[in-house]
């Protein structure tokens, strides 16, 4: 029993830290966000709300510069000020912004935030167990290998979530009469939009599928829908 104690403590620590992170994130978003008030985007959100049989879709602006959209653990949808600024500067269309909102709605509807809590706890336990085992045979580098394997697992799970949210967004955009075109054109712009000044790889590329793979997945869905309708 004692040999499992470090793993149990690792899982418990992960759960506590996750809950703390949710609380801290909620406070940060409350302090630095306001409800989006854009008539064009509201009309597109209303079309998606009708498709989902919802009274409305509420979106917030998160006052930070990086280009991003996010779904908070409490289910709220956010677009960063940096992303909204790209829209105001005509670098991103209203329909492309709607595709971001649809994608984040997918994360909420599919329960990805809640699932991340379970995944995070499991990954922490796996990291601890691997480190204990590998350190016996590979002293000094066992922990490093365990961390690397756990990170690869986390990245794989994150990419899986992104594919699922993309598919949800494609279905919603199609049902709302917006279509998947804006979703695909935005993917082509993302790398440039999120590129840092120093030329580093954008952070989203580390946990998201490659652009061409995401587009192919959407086109495969469209082909399937067309075949069914025929």
Tell me, yes or no, whether 4 lies in a domain.
no
Residue 202: the pLDDT is 44
* Cα(164)–Cα(177) distance, integer angstroms: 20
Q: Are 207 and 80 a contacting pair, CB within 8 Å?
A: no
Neighbour order of strands in the sheet with 59-62: 33-35, 59-62, 77-80, 69-71
Tell me, yes or no, whether 151 lies in a domain.
yes
Tell me, yes or no, whether 48 lies in a domain.
yes
> What distances in angstroms separate CA 199 from CA 114, 133, 190, 192, 193, one per listed residue?
34, 39, 14, 10, 12
Tell me, yes or no, whether 222 lies in a domain.
yes
Tell me, yes or no, whether 1 lies in a domain.
no
The total domain count for the chain is: 1
**Domain of 40, in residue numbers:** 27-114+141-229
Tell me, yes or no, whether 38 lies in a domain.
yes
Tell me, yes or no, whether 187 lies in a domain.
yes
Return per-residue pLDDT of the chain as tens, 230 residues: 445 565 566 666 666 666 776 677 778 888 999 999 999 999 999 999 999 999 999 999 999 999 999 988 788 999 999 999 999 999 999 999 999 999 999 999 998 766 665 455 555 655 665 555 556 665 666 555 556 555 555 554 567 888 999 999 999 999 999 999 999 999 989 878 876 433 444 444 455 678 888 999 999 999 999 888 66
Query: Mapped to the 3 state alphabet, what secondary structure does 129-192 carry?
Result: HHHHHHHHHCCCCHHHHHHHHHHHHHHHHHHHHHHHHHHHHHHHHHHCCCCCHHHHHHHHHHHH
Residue 88: the pLDDT is 97
Tell me, yes or no, whether 5 lies in a domain.
no
């Amino acid at each position: 029993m004692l040999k499992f104690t470090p793993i149990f403590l690792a899982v418990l620590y992960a759960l506590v830290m996750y809950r703390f992170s949710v609380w801290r994130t909620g406070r940060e978003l409350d302090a630095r966000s306001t409800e989006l008030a854009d008539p064009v985007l509201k009309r597109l959100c209303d079309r998606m709300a009708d498709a989902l049989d919802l009274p409305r879709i509420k979106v917030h602006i998160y006052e930070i510069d990086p280009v991003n959209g996010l779904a908070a653990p409490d289910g709220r949808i956010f677009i960063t000020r940096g992303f909204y600024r790209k829209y105001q500067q005509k670098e991103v269309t209203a329909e492309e912004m709607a595709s971001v909102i649809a994608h984040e709605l997918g994360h909420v509807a599919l329960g990805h935030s809640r699932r991340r809590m379970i995944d995070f706890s499991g990954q922490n336990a796996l990291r601890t167990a691997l480190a204990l085992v590998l350190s016996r045979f590979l002293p000094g580098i066992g922990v490093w290998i365990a961390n690397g394997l756990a990170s690869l697992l986390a990245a794989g799970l994150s990419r899986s979530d992104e594919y699922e949210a993309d598919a949800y967004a494609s279905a919603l955009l199609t049902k709302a009469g917006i279509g998947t075109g804006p979703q695909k054109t935005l993917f082509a712009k993302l790398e440039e939009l999120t590129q840092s000044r120093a030329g580093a790889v954008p952070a989203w590329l580390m946990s998201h599928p490659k652009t061409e793979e995401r587009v192919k997945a959407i086109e495969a869905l469209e082909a399937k829908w067309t075949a069914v309708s025929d």
